[in-house]
Amino acid sequence: MRITNAMMVNNMISNISKNQTRMDKLQNQMATGKKIEVPSDDPVVAARALKLRTDVAEITQYQKNVDDATSWVDITESALSNIGDVLHRARELAVKSANGTMSTEDQQATASEVKQLREQLIQLSNSTYAGRYIFSGYQTDKPLVDEVTGNYAIPSASTEVMNYEIGVGNDINVNVLGGELFDGTGASAVAGSTPKMIQDMDKFFDDLNTNNQTAISTLIDGIQSDLDNVTRIRADIGARSNRLDLTKSRLDSDEYNFTKLMSNNEDVDQAEVIMNLTNEENVYKASLSAGAKIIQPSLVDFLR
């Protein structure tokens, strides 16, 4: 093939520009730490990057949800524990009062303690978390029980379940419904009616005042059943809390795994890029020096 000066110059320019293109790509990879810049660099990596980004964002969100659910459940648990203590005390007092050995003064003192316990129950039924009434179902802006009358202040159906999403299609119920807590399984709160637990307290108080020990004896079973109900719900809350802990640790490992996948997918191997860049740099220098040697001299330089 006949080689002309223009050909040599053209080839040199195009080769050097190819070198530069490759160096530019590697330079970008070094600077950004990413394998690709636009989808066309590698559509598969790009599509995977989008998917993994969504996955990681979802996991992060679920982690937040689990944390919030845990706080809610913890607050509920402590309220339930207090309610349990109140009922224990009430039962103790009921047992003491039922055996007929109390003096009138003791009875009066007991009565006033029962009244206090009733007040405490009402307070606890209106427990709040961040300003929201935790037992009020969907109407967390309103207290569950009227502080004066001790009646339900709002209706709250047994279906008013609050669910937090802690995974795709994986919801956890975070609230305990007032109706179930104060009236037993499946019960709904009806506005204006008195919760069974409060009724028991009222009855205890009345029986003490009328010194009706037989009634108090029967009431022990009533309070016991209240207590059983609270224990059952506490067990349930405990189980939820446990589930949240497990979910949290699973999400933590998911986050790690997916972040790692994301990194494997789109991050460059720095060592490899540095190697390649150095290599390209050498090739570039070599082609420049070869070009300089080739295109400079011609016969002109040797004619006199």
Q: Which residues bind another protein (CB under 8 A)?
A: 1-7, 10-11, 14, 32, 34, 36-44, 46-47, 49-51, 53-54, 56-58, 61, 64-65, 68-69, 130, 132, 136-141, 160, 162-165, 168-169, 171, 266, 298-300, 303
288 Cβ neighbours under 8 A, 6+ residues apart: 16
Which residue number, 216 or 273, has a Cβ lying nearer to another protein?
273
CA distance 55 to 251: 11
Which residue number, 101 or 296, has a Cβ lying nearer to another protein?
296
CB of 70 to another protein, least distance (A): 12
Place of tokens 């640790």: 249
Which residue number, 162 or 277, has a Cβ lying nearer to another protein?
162
CA distance 189 to 13: 85
Which residue number, 40 or 104, has a Cβ lying nearer to another protein?
40
130 Cβ neighbours under 8 A, 6+ residues apart: none
CB of 40 to another protein, least distance (A): 3
Run of H or E including 120 = helix 104-125
CB of 10 to another protein, least distance (A): 7
CB of 176 to another protein, least distance (A): 14
CA distance 178 to 145: 9
CB of 80 to another protein, least distance (A): 19
Number of neighbouring beta carbons within 10 Å of residue 303: 6
Residue 72 structure tokens: 């809610």
Which residue number, 69 or 219, has a Cβ lying nearer to another protein?
69
Report the half-sphere exposure of 12 (CA within 13 A, side-chain side).
19
Cα end-to-end span (Å), the chain: 29
Question: What single string gives the DSSP state of each residue in 31-100?
Answer: HH-BS-SSGGG-HHHHHHHHHHHHHHHHHHHHHHHHHHHHHHHHHHHHHHHHHHHHHHHHHHHHHHHHTT
Which residue number, 231 or 256, has a Cβ lying nearer to another protein?
256
CB of 49 to another protein, least distance (A): 4
CB of 106 to another protein, least distance (A): 45
Which residue number, 49 or 86, has a Cβ lying nearer to another protein?
49
**What φ, ψ does residue 7 adopt, rounded to 5°?**
-60, -45
